[in-house]
């Protein structure tokens, strides 16, 4: 059964409804022991990186998440959940993440004379990297340059992650919109929208 991790920082009911709409049975879990009973896991997230990592630490969830990943079962991080899977973030201050991937999250900043509006809140198109032969095919039935809903102020830098499977662009800044490292998948956008 699909587990949706409730650590106090996610839009868990939107994700549960989306899973139901596509015929997936899911359960909301919050205890480390419950991870053993799930066949795959969604790590949602809305909010601040440091606060979310503290919630995971205080609920003794980091080691069980890493153990879950080591079993080979799939984990999907959505939005902040994706960002938590990388090594660190610079949101407000430097914060260590779960560290499954060697990535960093940084804030959108102006790189031209055009003022950037943060957060990046809009439907935006993604460019899919189709040359990744070892992927499970999450984009197999998705057209390149399809639109997905984004709402975030920080992003995973595409140039520091080898596992990037799609990118998006906001005000001339290209960023990682999805990654996959074996059984670990991250989506910066909200597929439940």
The reply to whether 145 belongs to the active site is no
Backbone angles phi, psi at 169, to 5 degrees: -135, 140
CA 173/CA 157 separation, integer angstroms: 9
Rounded to the nearest 10 degrees, what angle do helices 62-70 and 49-58 cross at? Answer: 90
- Token pair recorded at residue 155: 């992003």
Q: Which of 91, 104, 163, 192 is catalytic?
A: 192
- Token pair recorded at residue 97: 């993440």
The reply to whether 79 belongs to the active site is yes
CA 106/CA 146 separation, integer angstroms: 25
CA 62/CA 166 separation, integer angstroms: 26
**Edge-to-edge strands of the sheet including 95-96?**
95-96, 86-89, 101-107, 154-156
The reply to whether 192 belongs to the active site is yes
Q: Which of 79, 91, 152, 176 is catalytic?
A: 79
Q: Which of 91, 152, 163, 190 is catalytic?
A: 190
- Token pair recorded at residue 23: 């015929």
CA 124/CA 148 separation, integer angstroms: 6
Query: Which residues are marked as active site?
Result: 79, 190, 192
């Amino acid at each position: 059964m699909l587990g949706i991790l409730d650590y106090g920082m996610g839009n868990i009911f939107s994700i549960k409804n989306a899973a139901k709409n596509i015929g997936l049975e899911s359960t909301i879990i919050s205890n480390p022991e419950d991870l053993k009973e799930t066949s795959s896991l969604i790590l949602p997230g809305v909010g601040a990186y440091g606060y979310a990592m503290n919630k995971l630490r205080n609920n003794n969830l980091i080691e069980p998440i890493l153990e879950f990943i080591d079993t080979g079962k799939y984990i999907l991080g959505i939005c902040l959940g994706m960002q938590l899977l990388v090594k660190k973030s610079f949101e407000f201050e430097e914060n260590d993440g779960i560290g499954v991937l060697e990535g960093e999250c940084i804030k959108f900043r102006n790189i031209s004379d055009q003022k950037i509006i943060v957060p990046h809140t809009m439907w935006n198109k993604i460019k899919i990297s189709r040359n990744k032969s070892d992927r499970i095919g999450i984009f197999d039935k998705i057209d390149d340059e399809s639109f997905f809903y984004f709402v975030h102020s920080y992003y995973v830098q595409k140039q520091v992650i080898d596992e990037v499977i799609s990118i998006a662009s906001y005000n001339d800044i290209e960023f990682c919109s999805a990654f996959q490292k074996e059984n670990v998948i991250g989506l910066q956008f909200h597929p439940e929208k």
